[in-house]
Amino acid sequence: MAGKSLLYKKKIIKQLYFAGLLSCAELSHKIDKSLSLTTKMLNELITEGTVIETGYAPSSGGRRPLMYSLKPDILYTVAVAMDQFFTRISIMDMQNRHVQEIEKFELKLADNPQAATMLAEKIEQVIEKSGIAKSKIPGIGIGMPGFVDPNIGANYTFLPTKGESLVDLIYRKTNIPTYIENDSSIVALAELRFGAARNRKNAMVINIGWGVGLGMILNGELFRGDNGFAGEFSHIPLFNNGKLCSCGKSGCLETETSLFVIIEKAKEGLKKERVSVLKQLLSGREEDLEKDAETIISSAGKGDRFAIELLSEAGYNIGRGIAILIHLLNPGIVVLSGRGASAGKIWQAPIQQALNEHCIPQLAVNTEIIMSTTGYEAELTGSAALVMDKYGEAAKKTFKPEKAKKILPKGNKTIS
């Protein structure tokens, strides 16, 4: 019974983490246990100092139920958000608050055989710096680009690990359970659990960044596909532009829409004497990619005509891709999230224009295009949520290098 009690308590903790506040009756329903058993477990958690009473729910005409929440410092998650160039690491409490300054550092993933080891060592350093006991950290959640199979803890595009899974390598360095997921799926998980897609049945979450990723929420759950590879939105072949994509093909959506492409187009326009404040602000150096992306977005927000034109052109082409998603999946909402979402409503008009031109009206009229409520924070929030999604579950499947070779031929890469 002791083992079952611990399992029930973990289920309660998990539900309170995602909901924030719940009554005993709501918890009973969510963990599918009797009210008397749920009450017993709650009382034990209160005695242990894990759960606190937070007052009564607002009146709805009947007796107001007592509400419960987690103490924020009972557990901590290590959240890691990666793109092809930069990595952020944060330790977060049970209210998804950063308990210390976010550690941000440059870590190039392409052609970097030491990337996995460097990542593991940096995570260990951040944990040591925090002074938090590892016994209070149930897991490390990592969102990363590439073909990621979360079932066996492998990234088939980046972070080579010489025969062991990535999660095994990081566990060996930190002694903390580790979970990985494609960055766009992580962003979608954040939107599903805490953001604009919360309580929505079918949603497409567009992750605007160095690629243009996609996280799919179908029937209220994150859809990953058989191996976790679902959602390669960046690589829909939409153009006959002859531009080589990072995946090795040409004409992919990414070749006209990513922030990297927007920066390149900005530099080309400035060489042709386009009038813009970007002429004084844009660096153009590879080491300043992040700064340049932020500069273009902020300049558009301040009304710079050329910056708005750059984002609008990319937005229109993203809208063409979204039209395909609407025709195939009929989502209730499309959420624009990720690094590029800070441009806000500048994206919405060109995307809507593309939908007007390329989407069947009866389908498009029922799909909302909305901005993320979590934005650039989404990947860190999603990484923390990934840990708590797995809280109390059985161990992962065993990594098999020979299976990895069958799934993805050597040299096949993507950076979405």
Q: What is the pLDDT of residues 274-303, one digit of tens each?
A: 999 999 998 878 778 889 999 999 999 999
% of the chain surpassing 70 pLDDT:
93
Q: Tell me if 350 is assigned to some domain.
A: yes
Residue 103's pLDDT is what? 96
* Domain co-membership, 229 together with 304: yes
* Domain co-membership, 114 together with 158: yes
What domain range includes position 268? Answer: 198-373
Question: Mapping DSSP to helix (H, G, I), strand (E, B) and coil, where does residue 144 land?
Answer: strand
pLDDT in tens, 85-95: 899 999 999 99
* Domain co-membership, 284 together with 355: yes
* Domain co-membership, 160 together with 265: no
| Of the listed ranges 56-65, 77-86, 173-182, 228-237, the one predicted with least confidence | 56-65
Q: Tell me if 416 is assigned to some domain.
A: no
Using the 3D structure, point to which of 24, 47, 70 is the last residue of a domain.
70
Residue 56's pLDDT is what? 86
Number of domains in the chain: 3
* Domain co-membership, 383 together with 356: no
Q: Tell me if 323 is assigned to some domain.
A: yes
* Domain co-membership, 254 together with 332: yes
Q: Tell me if 414 is assigned to some domain.
A: no
Q: Which pLDDT band holds residue 59 (cuts at 50, 70, 90)?
A: low
Question: Mapping DSSP to helix (H, G, I), strand (E, B) and coil, where does residue 352 land?
Answer: helix
* Domain co-membership, 167 together with 278: no
Residue 366 vs residue 414, higher pLDDT: 366
Using the 3D structure, point to which of 53, 70, 87 is the last residue of a domain.
70
Backbone φ, ψ for residue 335 (5° rounding): -105, 125
Residue 192's pLDDT is what? 95
0.85 exceeded by pTM: yes
* Domain co-membership, 258 together with 121: no
- 24: domain CATH number is 1.10.10.10
* Domain co-membership, 57 together with 82: no
Rounded CA-CA distance 394/302 in Å is 50
- 169: domain CATH number is 3.30.420.40
Residue 399's pLDDT is what? 43
